[in-house]
Amino acid sequence: LEKAQVKHERLKAMGQMSSSIAHDFNNSLQQMTGNLEIIKFQKGFSNTTIERLNNIEDIIDDVADRVSALQKLGDTENENKNVQLIDFNTLIEEGLNQSRPLWKDDMEKKGLSVTITTDFENIPRFLGNRGELKSVFFNLIKNSIEAMPKGGAIVIKTFTKEKRVYATFTDTGIGMDEETKIKVFEPFFTTKGFELGRGLGMSGVYNTIKKYNGDITITSSGISKGTTFEIVFPVSNEKEATELETTKQKDKTSFNVL
């Protein structure tokens, strides 16, 4: 087994390399967009031509999204622009709400059901960037949904232990084989085929978590036995953490579809 530190250095190098290539792509994309804008201002195009130009614009937007995800992988320092004390429980709920359009209608149409249960402890707030951390939670939920094409259950827990904040995401999906477990955090690694998967979700998750001196571990009992991701962060607010230790409260909610 690869030593954790070696693995971390390797993933970091892959992220930085992807990010610098993405930087070049970004310059090229900007030139393409600029030229397209100029062309679109000219008159006398047929409808088909306008349609094609719009199609090119859509494709450029799509590529730009992926390029931007790649660029973020090079962002390994936590010189954070916009940090505030964040309540993870609320942010996870927001990630859940954001994920709902991805699956709700589709599952209902197929007569399948997804149950999402949250089991939240009152945890100390965490100093970080909301958008960045929400995208961690969103990506974990999205992957769990995608791992359960026939429906299933997701359980999300938050708790504190020994001055650390934990969030676990468990699904009853397809699980992971050994190769997937090893490669899951690599940029571009996907088992979904290039049409469906980009392989940029988990590399972004990993990068963000490391940026906050956190860690992420995977437990999967094997193929079709589901997966658990456990995230752990150091406590950023000692005082609040100590206060909350004495008033541990639980908050359990459950969403049901069908």
Amino acid at site 189: F
Cβ 201 to Mg ion, closest distance in Å? Answer: 3
Question: Which residue from 95, 124, 152, 173 is in contact with ligand ADP, where contact means CB under 6 A?
Answer: 173
Question: Which residue from 166, 201, 207, 208 is in contact with ligand ADP, where contact means CB under 6 A?
Answer: 201
Question: Between residue 127 and residue 156, which ones bind Mg ion under the rule CB under 5 A?
Answer: 143
H/E stretch holding 4 reads helix 4-41
Instruction: Tell me how far CA of residue 216 lies from CA of 72, 111, 170, in angstroms.
Output: 18, 34, 13
Cα maximum dimension of the chain: 72
Q: How far apart are CA 235 and CA 70, in angstroms?
A: 28
Which CB, 104 or 198, lies closer to ligand ADP? 198
Question: Between residue 207 and residue 246, which ones bind ligand ADP under the rule CB under 6 A?
Answer: 227
Which CB, 114 or 202, lies closer to ligand ADP? 202
229 - beta bridge partners?
169, 218
In total, the chain counts a number of residues equal to: 258
Half-sphere exposure of residue 165: CA atoms within 13 angstroms, side-chain side? 26
201 binds Mg ion (CB under 5 A): yes
User: If you compute the radius of gyration of the chain from its CA atoms, what whole number of angstroms results?
Assistant: 21
Which CB, 128 or 187, lies closer to Mg ion? 187
Q: Which stretch binds ligand ADP (CB under 6 A): 51-59, 127-135, 166-174, 239-247?
A: 166-174
Amino acid at site 238: E
Question: Which residue from 67, 69, 136, 174 is in contact with ligand ADP, where contact means CB under 6 A?
Answer: 174
* Signed CA dihedral, 129, 161, 167, 222: sign only: positive
CB–CB of 223/103 below 8 Å?
no
Cβ 12 to ligand ADP, closest distance in Å? Answer: 16
176 binds ligand ADP (CB under 6 A): yes
Q: Which stretch binds ligand ADP (CB under 6 A): 28-36, 59-67, 141-149, 244-252?
A: 141-149
Q: Which residues bind Mg ion (CB under 5 A)?
A: 143, 201
Q: Which residues bind ligand ADP (CB under 6 A)?
A: 139, 143-144, 147, 171, 173-176, 180, 184, 189-192, 197-203, 227
